[in-house]
Each structure stands twice: as C-alpha cells, then as structure tokens.
Amino acid sequence: MSADGRAETSTLLRVSDLRTWYPIRRGLMRRQSGWVQAVTDVSFEIAPGQTFALVGESGCGKTTVGRSILRLETPLRGEVHFEGRDLLKLEPEAMRRARQHLQIIFQDPMASLDPRMRIRDQIAEGMKSFGIGASESERLERVRVMLERVQLDPETMDRYPHEFSGGQRQRICIARALAVEPRLIVCDESVSALDVSIQAQILNLLRELQDELGLSYLFITHDLSVVRYLAHQVAVMYLGKIVEQGPTERIFEAPAHPYTKALLAAIPSVDPERRGAAPRVLGDVPSPSDPPPGCHFHTRCEFVMDRCRAQVPPLFEIEGGRSRCFLAEDSDPSRSVAQNAPKSV
Amino acid sequence: MSALLEVRNLRTVFPGESGPLPVVDDISFSLARGEVLALVGESGSGKSMTALSILRLVPKPGQVVSGEVRLAGEDLLRLPVTKMRRIRGARIAMIFQEPMTCLNPVVSVGAQVMEAIRLHDSINKIDARARTRELFVEVGIPDPDARLDAYPHHLSGGLKQRVMIAMALSMRPEVLIADEPTTALDVTVQSQILALLRRLQSDRGTAILLITHDLGIVNELADRVAVMYAGRLVEVAERKALLSEPLHPYTQGLLRSIPSRSRPGEPLPEIPGVVPPPHQWPAGCRFSTRCPIRFEPCAEVFPEQIRPAEGRRVWCHDVERSMRREGPA
Amino acid sequence: MMGLEAYVFSNIMTAALLAGAWLLVRVVRRQRLWREAAQQLWGRRKLAIIIVGIYLLIGLLDSVAWKGGVPEDSVGVLPNAPLTLIDRVFLGTLEASYSAPFAAVEFYGAMPLQRPGSHLFGTDILGRDVLYLSLKGARVALLIGGLTSLIAIPLALVFGVGAGYFGGRFDDFVFFLISTLASMPGLLLLIALIMAMGRDTLSVCVALGVTSWVGFCRLSRAETLKLRELDYVSAARALGVSELGIIVRHILPNLAHLIVITFVLMFSGLVLSEVVLSWLGIGVDGSWGQMIDGARNELSREPIIWWNIAAAGSALFGLILAVNIVGDGIRDVLDPRTRKSLS
C-alpha cells in the first residue's frame, strides 16, 4: 500500500462523488423547499481484504453512504463501481444479482431478524435467492456450517430470534451474510448495540473471518476506539462530507482536521492519570437540512478563520491522506504553486 | 465526610417461573456528601433497577423486598408514599438515558421545568419562569429566553439532556441519580455534558450516583466505583485503584476488552460466553461460568465480602485465597 | 352456480372449507410459534372455544344436504327436496301454529299438538319448532360472519399492503378509494348494493364485504408502513429477495396476528349488522335477525309470545359472546406486546 493509504492493487469498491439528498416537501402543494443533504460528494476506495472505516456522529451521513452503496437508498448522483460495474446504473434484476457479493449487517440485531421465522430459514433465504446449494438438504448442511463458523451451536437452528441474546443474534446476522459468499460486508454500527464484553467477541470474529476468507469491510461507526482495532483506512465524516481520510494509525497519531482532533479528544480515556479534558467543540451538530455555509464545521471549530465562513474547502492532499480544511491547504503539494505567489508573509 | 445515602442489603425481586428472581441481590454501598459514585455493569447487571429501587420506582410486578435505604439517616423504604413523593425530585433527583422519551412532546420545555419547580415549591409562575431561565443559563443552554418556549422536538439530543439536568437540579437536590445520561448522545456532545456535570457537581456539592457501562465515563466523573454483575456487587474501590489495579476477574476482563486498550493486530481479549439469565444463575459466584481463573469453590459457594485494603471491597474466592497466603494488600 | 343446484354448490363449498381448515391446522402445527400460541389459547379460553366449536358443528351439520330418504307422509316438506341433517332430525315436528315451550296444546285455542311437550322453545306462527329454526340460524350467522370476512380481509390486504409497501401513486389511489367509501353512509350503500345484487346469502355477504374492508385496509397499510422500514426487510432485499417475495415471506406473516384478530372481531360485528339489515327487511332468510324482526309483532300480543325472540336472541348472544372472548384470548396470545417473551 502506498504512503497515502490508497490501494495500488485492484480495487474492490470505488465510490465516486456520491450524493444522496432527500427533498423536503412543505405545504399543501408539497412543493420542494430544500434538501436534506445527507451525503455530499463522497469518494473513496476499498481494496480486497481491507477494512475501511467510516466514522462520524449522528447526522453525518455515514449510514446513508452504506445504504446508498447497496441501493437501499437512492442516490441523486455519483458512481459506485463494484467488481467492475457501476451499481447505480444496473437494472433491478442485475442489481439483485450483484447484491450477492455485497452484504450488510445492521445495528439492531433484534430488528434485523424476522421474529416469526426460524433462524435456519433466515440464513437459508439468501442462498435460495442466489441459487446457492442445489437442494434443501444441501442448504441445510450449509446453514449448519455457517452457524459453526460464527461459533453458534447448530442444534439451535430451529429456534426463533427472541430465544437468543443480542450478541448471538448478531452472530446469526453474520452467518446469514456469509452464507451467500460475499466479498464486501457493510457493517452498519454492527457492534454499537452490544455490551463491551460481547463487542470484543464479535470484533474478534470479524477479524478472523477477514483473515480466513479475505473479506473486505466497510465499517460504519461512531466509536473511534473500535475503529483503531479493526480498520486499515479511516474516513471521518461531518454533515455529509468526508472531512479527513487516511491510514488508521496516522489518523490517531496525527489528526489533521479540527473535527477529527475534537472527536479524538472527546473519547473518555480509561487511563486513571488522564481525566478532565475540556471539550474542544462548542454547540451541537447542525441539521443536515440546513448546513452552515462555507465549511460545514466552521460554527464549532476552534481554529475558525474568516474564509471558512464563506468558502467551501475542497479535500486537500496531505501527508498520509486528505483533509477538508483550509489549514491543510499549505501542505497540499498540488496547491503550493497557485497559493504561494500572492500571499504576503 | 458522613454518608449521605446509605444502601444496606437492598434486595429487589421479580416473579419468575420457578420462584422470585432477585435482580438486585443484597446490594450495600454508601454515597458521601458531594461524592460521585459510579455503579458500573453491563445489561442484566441490575444497576438501573438499583437506582429505581432507591427511589421506590420499581415497575410492577417487581418489588423491593428487603434492605434499607437511608437518606441522612431516614429509611426511605419505610416512609409513607406521600412523604416519598416529596423527597423525589426535591432531595433525590434522577435523569435518564433517553431525554426524548422523558419530555412531554406537546408541552414547552420551559413549562415542564416550571411544573417540576412548582410541584415542590409554592412560588408563582413569574418567579418560576425566572428561576427556570437561571437554570437554563447554568446548564449552558444558549439563547435561554427563546428556548423557554421551545418544544422538545426543536431541540437536539444534547440540549434535551441539558433541560433534563436543569429539571433535576431545580430543587437543589442533595443526591442526583444519573442513569446512563450520555449513552444516547454523540461523543462530542457527551464530553460537553460530562464537563457540565463535573462543573455543576463542584459548584453545588451535589452527590451523584452515576450509572453507566462505560469505564471511560467512570474515569472522567467518578470518585469511587462499584461494579455489578448479575444482580450482585463484585468489586468496590476508589477510581484510580480500580482502573489501575482491578482485583475481580470480571473487572479485569472488562478493562481488557476495551478496544482502545489493545494493540491492533492482536486479537482483543474477550470474556467468553454470555451473562446467564436470572433463572440460570449458579449457586455460587455468578461470574464463575465465564471466569478464566475459576476453581473448586467458585460455582458452589458464593464468595464472602473481603476488604483487601482501606476502602476496597471484593467478592472473589481467588482474591480471598491470595490474601490468606500473603496477608491483606 | 351455472347448472348446479344450490345445495350441490353448498356441499362443494363446505367440502372446500373443510379442506382449507385442515390445511390451516397443518400449517399451524408445523410452526412452533403458532403451535405454542394455539396451546396457550386453549389453556386460557377452553369454555369459549368449546362453545364456538358447538356452533361450528351445528352449522356444519346444516351445510350438507342430500335428497331422498324422506317418509311419504311428512308434513310441510316436498318429497324430493334436499334436506340437511338438522332438517331430518326435526322432520315431522310441524304444528299448526304457536305453542309455548314444552306445552301440550296450542297457544291460541288450546288445540292439542302433534308432539305435545317436545318443543323446547315452542313453535312459531307457522308451527315450526323454534329450536329447529334457531339451529338453522347458526349456519346463516357463520356464513355472514365467516364468508364476508373471507371476502373483506383479502380485499383489504391487497389494497392496504400494496399501498403501504409501494407507496406513490398506488397509495394515493387507495387513499382516494378509502376516503370515498368512508364518506358514504354505510348503511345506505349496503341497502343499495343488496337491492342491486339480490337478497340471497351470497349477495348479502358480498355487499357486506365490500362495505366493511376499509377499516382493516387502513390498519394493514399502517402496519405495512411500519414493517417496511424494519431492518429485516432491508436485510431480505440485500439477500436478493424480490419485492413480492418480501411481501409474502416477511410482511404477511408479521401481519398474521392482526389478520386473525381482525377476522374474529369482524365476525361479531357483521352478524350484528345483519340483524339491523333484517330489521330493515333486507336480511338473509333464516337468520336469527329475521327471527328477531319477525318476533317484534308478537311481543305486543296479549299474552306475550316471548319464546321466539328469546331463542334467537340467546343463540345470537351466545355466539357473539363466545367469539369475542376467544378473540380477546387470541389477541393476548398473539400480540407481540402482551405476549410473554423468553428473553
């Protein structure tokens, strides 16, 4: 992998300029009065066998990115190249078939399982629709194998979801996704609803599966500590845009964007010698239907400058990734020519 | 510092198929004036139910069956209901995890705080409104005058939680019970709310019983920590001691399984298995089914309370055995 | 019904119904969730279930008719008419006119009866045994409640689930349809339909069905809207299940508890509606409603003739009460909120 973190080998998933906005309709005539700018101009790549983390707080659009890639939401524009094809341009039937290699695991393990179906039927459902397993008994055998792989007792396959604990249900969801032989799994806050001790189990399982099967993950979460353990690449999102991206260690050791810095500083540490850090952001997250002009983050930024209020910063290249901040402009090699001349020191 | 709130042998049961299940089982701890005690545990540990038991708000069909809860000497469990109601909100206040569900969506937030004030204090509406406005300023709500008339759905999660805190502190309670106050909030907002609670606590000297599963929050706010597992206490210690030198295997396991504490590339240390449901609790130590150092007596005999050091309590056969060999720490 | 005599058609329908019921039982037995629910229901509402079962049995016995086997001298019966089991049990119990329960003589005129002391509920103005009439009314009531629900509920599901799941223009259309129907006075619409289609049982059932599907349509639409957003629906889509597959495998089974509860509760409402229709003169022949309506005049006689209305009223009350109790029990057992979960 090159120094700036972008894969030089073949790319499994390439997202380009993804934009998912929802129209806001008001009034009797349901006229459109604006947009909820959930995801704006997001681009990134994921290589095979890699974990890419999408991090941010509520309203940042990370879940919408995950769902847009799977076309569970409808993007306004952009491209999602998976296995060589642009998913957004596929016909419904072709999309349905493409879904086999692109699976998703949701946050709430209870809501992700149909309460009225036995778990064996739910794990087998994907197999049936993609034609995996020639007969009922073959599929059953595969269900058994899947359950063992996620460390659940295959004898429990006739039970219903409510008879399992939260962690076990999440394992069932993982088994269900694995059953169709995916290449990339979108993990949408998949461990956020679990207790810390169960979280560790699930994270270890995901790691093992990645090593064993060469899976890629798009790991969506608000919990930066989980990211550090699992991800190779991290992208931080704020109000629909990627504000910083880079290899995991660089993000944690040397965050460039003020929001990333604030996010890291906000994580309460368990080190008994470290406590009482003052919060580095003021105020609350603005609404995605009415984002601030210029740089979306300027209303809460401790380094805000005048130009931040008026101009929208592009993603600048920096050492070890990209940052959407005018503070990074000077270190962007491609900008140095244009910027150096008129500036007075 | 004298103990302001003393909980002794508190037991709360829920009816089960084969007999009553003690979801809060023989819990004892004390909270001194101005102190922050964190009650830590995962789901099913009984920590929230402990808080509700203190306030006698246990939902039916559960009930508190034995023990004492003494507030400045007076046993709350034995008070008549009318007296208890006067204490709730005025001397002991509580804030909950989900500010969304605790605020009435059709009443303005200002009115709700005023209602809480006027329940306990017979002042007129104008004075109540002024006091509410002062509270809003104190909890850091920007533009307080406008916000007095705002409705809950106009406010973000962080602001709603600030309103809840304002409501809870309006009568200057001696004890504040905070049940997972920041779990539903974003992490940047969480750090603001934690800073707010820290400031309010030092300004007003309110004692806080903080209920959480997040050891990071414990480190930020707490003076002392009590760890619960499956309805029982397993370890009680002062914050630094617990975080740097945990004695109980469960506490150790919890600390180890926090992802930020591990090195990327190695598997996360995990606690295998799941918390057993109440009807499957072993006769002995409830953690024995998952404990890495379980030995003979663990599953059969419940460990007695041990005091390995000043201010520390542990319930573990292994710690007991090491102490007998080496003497108290 | 072309070329088939009415009773043959009825026999075939009854057989089909029994086959359908047997299939349903097999499905319930296979799924543990439903099996346990059924067992729980039986445990809690035994008596009511037994009572409903008795009514069902009576209705069944009155549903299968065949010709022949009638003694030559039977009064009031055509020799080649198709008769049901109930008809045959009560063959030869015809009197001349009114008689009180267990009486030996006629009510007016004190003429001796053919079968003195054997009429449990007396006889009506035409001398027919009132118990016999009440028993026959059971089948009519079950048809009105059951058949109509079987018309109304699928209708409501198609529109409701379709509107809730697909939204857009179909939703707008259904909304328009519902609003229009709901704005019309139901009773008048019903009367108009019955006048147009005829007064036979099937037409009345269809008319009732068409005017009572709106409520459940709204309910199923609302529930579908909620279910559609759940993660397991998105998961199914991600697993490559087609939209129709999702509706059949995930939405409908999770509406099943609502369907069952609605069916049971609709039943009683419909039977009671028919009583009103009878009072207006457009009810179904042989129903309890008709008996009650016909008995109106008799109440003003001196001395009162009460057994007619008492029998019909009690039979009606018994069925409705039992069905409602069972329905309540079903709701407790199936509603995910009141059900005891194992977690």
Check if A58 contacts B (Cβ < 8 Å): yes
Task: Return the pLDDT at C322.
Answer: 94
Which residue ranges in chain B fall short of pLDDT 70? 1-2, 261-265, 327-329
**Under 8 Å CB-to-CB from B107, ≥6 apart: which residues?**
B115, B151
User: What average pLDDT score do residues C42-48 get?
Assistant: 91
Cβ atoms of B109 and B150 within 8 Å: the answer is yes
Give how far the C-alpha of residue A316 lies from the chain's centroid of Cα atoms, to the nearest Å.
Answer: 21
Check if A156 contacts C (Cβ < 8 Å): no
Is it the case that residue C139 has pLDDT exceeding 80?
Answer: yes
Chain C closest CA to A308's CA: distance in Å? 38
Q: A242-277: per-residue pLDDT in tens?
A: 999 999 999 999 999 999 998 888 888 888 887 777
Task: Return the pLDDT at C308.
Answer: 86
Task: Return the pLDDT at A344.
Answer: 39
* CA C315/CA C62 separation, integer angstroms: 16
DSSP string, C108-142: SS-PBPSSTT--TT-B-TT--BHHHHHHHHHHHHH
Is it the case that residue A35 has pLDDT exceeding 90?
Answer: no
Helical ranges in chain C per DSSP H: 6-30, 32-44, 46-61, 85-89, 130-142, 148-166, 168-183, 186-197, 201-211, 214-228, 231-238, 243-246, 252-279, 288-298, 307-334
Task: Return the pLDDT at B328.
Answer: 58
Nearest residue of C to residue A166 by CA position?
A: C343
Cβ atoms of C245 and C239 within 8 Å: the answer is no
Task: Return the pLDDT at C338.
Answer: 54
Nearest residue of B to residue A285 by CA position?
A: B156
Is it the case that residue A29 has pLDDT exceeding 70?
Answer: no
Its pTM surpasses 0.90: no
User: Are C253 and A117 in contact (CB < 8 Å)?
Assistant: yes
Q: Which residue has the higher pLDDT, C118 or C239?
A: C239
Cβ atoms of B239 and B207 within 8 Å: the answer is no
Residues 319-338 of C with CB under 8 A from A: 336
Share of chain A above pLDDT 90, in %: 49
Check if A25 contacts C (Cβ < 8 Å): no
**pLDDT band, very low/low/confident/very high, at A7 (cuts 50, 70, 90):** very low
User: What average pLDDT score do residues C251-271 get?
Assistant: 90
* CA A60/CA A221 separation, integer angstroms: 11
Is it the case that residue A336 has pLDDT exceeding 50?
Answer: no
Angle, CA of B32, B33 and B35, to the nearest 5°: 70
User: Are B260 and A222 in contact (CB < 8 Å)?
Assistant: no
Task: Return the pLDDT at C343.
Answer: 27
Q: Is B23 helix (H, G, I), strand (E, B) or coil?
A: strand
Cβ atoms of C291 and C137 within 8 Å: the answer is yes
Check if A97 contacts C (Cβ < 8 Å): yes
Chain A closest CA to B171's CA: distance in Å? 26
Q: How many Cβ atoms are within 10 Å of A102's Cβ, its own excluded?
A: 26
Q: A272-284: per-residue pLDDT in tens?
A: 887 777 777 777 7
Of C238, C245, C343, the CB nearest to A103: C238
Question: Hunting for tokens 């990327």 — which residue is that?
Answer: B264
Residue B103 CB-half CA count within 13 A: 32
User: What average pLDDT score do residues A2-21 get?
Assistant: 73
User: Are C343 and A162 in contact (CB < 8 Å)?
Assistant: yes
Check if A193 contacts B (Cβ < 8 Å): no
Q: A56-109: per-residue pLDDT in tens?
A: 988 889 999 999 999 999 999 999 999 888 999 999 889 988 999 999 999 888
* CA B263/CA B268 separation, integer angstroms: 8
Q: C240-251: per-residue pLDDT in tens?
A: 888 899 999 999
Tell me how long chain B is: 329
Residues of A with Cβ-Cβ distance to B254 under 8 angstroms: 196-197
Task: Return the pLDDT at A255.
Answer: 92
Tell me how long chain A is: 345
Task: Return the pLDDT at C283.
Answer: 84
Is it the case that residue C1 has pLDDT exceeding 60?
Answer: no
* CA B93/CA B115 separation, integer angstroms: 15
Among the listed residues C172, C171, C165, C159, the one whose alpha carbon sits nearest the alpha carbon of residue C246:
C165
**pLDDT band, very low/low/confident/very high, at A332 (cuts 50, 70, 90):** low
Share of chain C above pLDDT 70, in %: 94
User: What average pLDDT score do residues A308-332 get?
Assistant: 86
Is it the case that residue A180 has pLDDT exceeding 90?
Answer: yes
Q: Is this complex scored with an ipTM above 0.95?
A: no
Q: Name the phi and psi angles at B265, rounded to 5.
A: 110, -30
Residue of A67, A116, A173 to mutate, testing the C interface (most C Cβ within 10 Å of its Cβ): A116
